[in-house]
Amino acid sequence: MSDKDLQDQQPTPPSGEKLQKVLARIGVGSRRDVEAWIGQGRIKVNGVEATLGLRVDLHDAITVDGKLIKRVEAAEATRRVIMYNKPDGEICTRDDPEGRPTVFDRLPRPKEGRWINIGRLDINTTGLLLFTTDGELANRLMHPSYEMDREYAVRVRGEVDDDMVDRLKAGVVLEDGPAKFTDIQKAPGGEGFNHWYHCVVMEGRNREVRRLWESQGVVVSRLKRVRFGPVFLNSDLPMGRWREMSQGEIDILAAEVGLQPVALPEMKLKAKDKLERLQRKSTRPLGRGERVRTLRPAAEGQAERPARAPREDAAPRKGGRGSTVAERPSEMRKRPSRPEGDKPAGRGRGKPRG
């Protein structure tokens, strides 16, 4: 049999890209969101209800809830990322039936796409949230195979001994499966039965940090995320404010999950001035009328005065005060590209930083 006959018998590779990947890249939602919408019958392609695994190209008409999705090749390469210091009392959803404030209320409106939150924090958890217009970046940062570590400052009420810390690091079984901290370090602050710790998890499961501590019979009274992968939250970003990442910072973050750099979109002078004004405003602390305050019942009917959280910038970090994104060692950053879906090699993460 000739080579030509063998080539004719080989199956033709599928054309286009998977629907969930396309919609994630243009910022409609994360891959998980899109897959859920497909299962709910909310997405149609060329008037026909979409199915998982369906591939599309630029000639296909895609609608979500009956609304046509505009697709421009240049817009599909847009990658912006912002950091947000979430206050207590905000929820990680776009619309809340109860009318509570959401993490999207203060964010600037992107010209193309929309903000996708990278992970979530519950209503009583504060600290670092990341948002991007690039759904593929969001998907990789949240996917367990990329092992993005998340560090929290947590105040617990109760006795904590070495055996408890060892159990939490070895792993305990929660209602949704085994979980553990990859590292726990005692932090300054707290008094009496209140103690501060910095702990690291490699997943983003619902209320995982609280449930791990509570499995040992102690109560979490304060919880704040201070790091996501190479991105730190420091005192330069007040609570309730946001900051857009620079090109260099975004490139470091994208390299962590094997993505090539994408240039930030060029902005007209008027739009740039407006963004800079919003940026300056976002660096000021919240005013008295802006603050979000929620009343929560204290455990066992006892009122508790919140202790001051430990300073996140107490120890100097490489890269200077102005940068909140830390570069990994060169052998970690310069990794060969992987086929989509492959699990990256271990990178020795899990230690609290700073």
Distance between CA 38 and CA 155 in Å, rounded? Answer: 41
Count how many residues are written for the chain.
Answer: 354
CB atoms within 10 A of CB 38: 22
Residue 97 backbone phi and psi in degrees, to 5: -60, -25
Token pair belonging to 50: 């979409």
Query: Token pair of 246, please?
Result: 């620079």
Which residues have C-beta within 8 Å of that of residue 29, sequence separation ≥ 6? 23, 37, 116, 135
CB 142 within 8 A of CB 30: yes
Picking from 106, 81, 104, 109, the residue whose alpha carbon sits closest to that of residue 92 is: 104
Q: CA-to-CA distance for 44 and 64, rounded, in angstroms?
A: 7
Q: Tell me which amino acid residue 143 is.
A: H
Exposed/middle/buried for residue 265 (C-beta within 10 Å: 0-12, 13-18, 19+): middle
Name the amino acid, one letter, at 184: I
Alpha-carbon gap, residue 128 to 61, rounded angstroms = 37
For residue 122, indicate whether it is catalytic: yes
Identify the DSSP state of 230. Answer: T
CA distance 180 to 170: 6
Which residues, including other chains, have CB under 8 Å from residue 112's CB and lie 6 or more apart? Answer: 27, 72, 75, 78, 133, 265
Q: Which of 122, 166, 273, 342 is catalytic?
A: 122
Residue corresponding to tokens 């995320």: 225
CB 149 within 8 A of CB 229: yes
User: With contact defined as beta carbons under 8 Å apart, do 262 and 137 qualify?
Assistant: no
Active site residues: 122
